[in-house]
Amino acid sequence: MNIGLLGFGTVGKGVYDITATHPDLQVTRVLCRRDLTLPDAQVTHDFYDILNDESIDTVVEVLGGLHPAWDYVKAAILAGKNVVTANKALVNHFYDELIPLVEQSGVKFRCTAAVGGGIGWLTELERVKRIDTLSKVGGIMNGTCNYILDNMTTKGLDYGVALKQAQELGYAEADPSADVDGPDTWNKTIISANIAFDVSLDKTSVPVCGIRNISAVDVAEFTKRGYVCKMIGTAEKGEHGISAYVQPTLVPNGEPAAAVPMNYNLISMVGSNSGPRSLFGQGAGRYPTAYNVVQDCVDVLNGVGFYASYGQPVAANNDVALSYYVRGASDAWLEGNVSESWGEGVLTKPVAVAEMHAWLKQHPDAFIAAVN
């Protein structure tokens, strides 16, 4: 396999290093903004040097973002090149165009590192589906949020202090919005649901809220009551359709998710034959992520394509009702749905997930967490 590598940052360098130890995988050209010299690959600033190189059969995209990454991926597929990516935003945002285009073009496409980094979550979904039917997928999918929440729980840190530590360690970006406000988990949850259930969820119907407004007061209240707060994405096949949502969730002490430390991920599935099972590991990092990118290259080399057939777009029919901890705002609707007081916050009666998220949009300074 001759690989055109798009990007030479953290993950791109890892891909280059790992493929160097496998003689059947050769990175021959690298797209990079910087000027650098590599011993066995040509470095270019022009994507078309890769696109027009007929010897390159596979393009690996680790640039991140939507553009120009999507423009390059689309052009590569139309040119008959296989594509491997770690870009969850690209896969989710363009899913309804990307997967049909791959099927029509007859190329191979893989994106294992896009969900769970080094865990290999999507390949496990693919394997389970061969003989099982999945009813639920989801879990802790964002290491930045988990690092912040874990340190708030175990060390009593306030949100701002925990976030600053995450930034200093490289777990969080200078602008942490994609992590702490939930888009990263949202992308991963929708991709997981699409593959698990052979559908394409209506993204506008999948609500998301993050951890930005959590405080040490909240965490202390949860600890007192035997709960740990985690950022969790959930997708479940129910009687009336598929529900999917992303939100802070209170997990009882003793549950596996409650014990997930630092920047680790724990992603779970429920199968009709296999029952509940979870995968635990590094959700990010140079070599864990690059490992699954290279695994995808090996799969492509062996003729393995995408994990699921493209399913027609469907609405995420959200008829799930949960109780929520709420602090920081109140109105007549909330007062009418209070079950009990929890310190500076309240616990609601079971309310529809969509209804609770709609309320939160009207009260952006509030913090909510579902009670598992």
CA distance 318 to 241: 8
Nearest to 119 by CA among 86, 147, 91: 86
Nearest to 61 by CA among 26, 15, 101: 15
Q: Is 85 strand, coil or helix?
A: strand
CA distance 210 to 231: 7
CA distance 159 to 7: 33
Catalytic, 203? Answer no
CA distance 197 to 199: 6
Q: Are 6 and 56 in contact (CB under 8 A)?
A: no
Q: Are 260 and 117 in contact (CB under 8 A)?
A: no
Block residue for tokens 């959700």: 283
Q: Which residues contact 50 (CB under 8 A, 6 or more apart)?
A: 4, 6, 29, 31, 44, 56, 59, 76
CA distance 135 to 137: 7
User: Which sign does the torsion angle of CA 239, 242, 248, 249 carry?
Assistant: positive
- Looking at residue 212, the DSSP 8-state letter turns out to be T
β-bridge mates for residue 136, sequence order: 236, 270
Catalytic residue among 13, 108, 129, 188: 188
Q: Which residues are catalytic?
A: 188
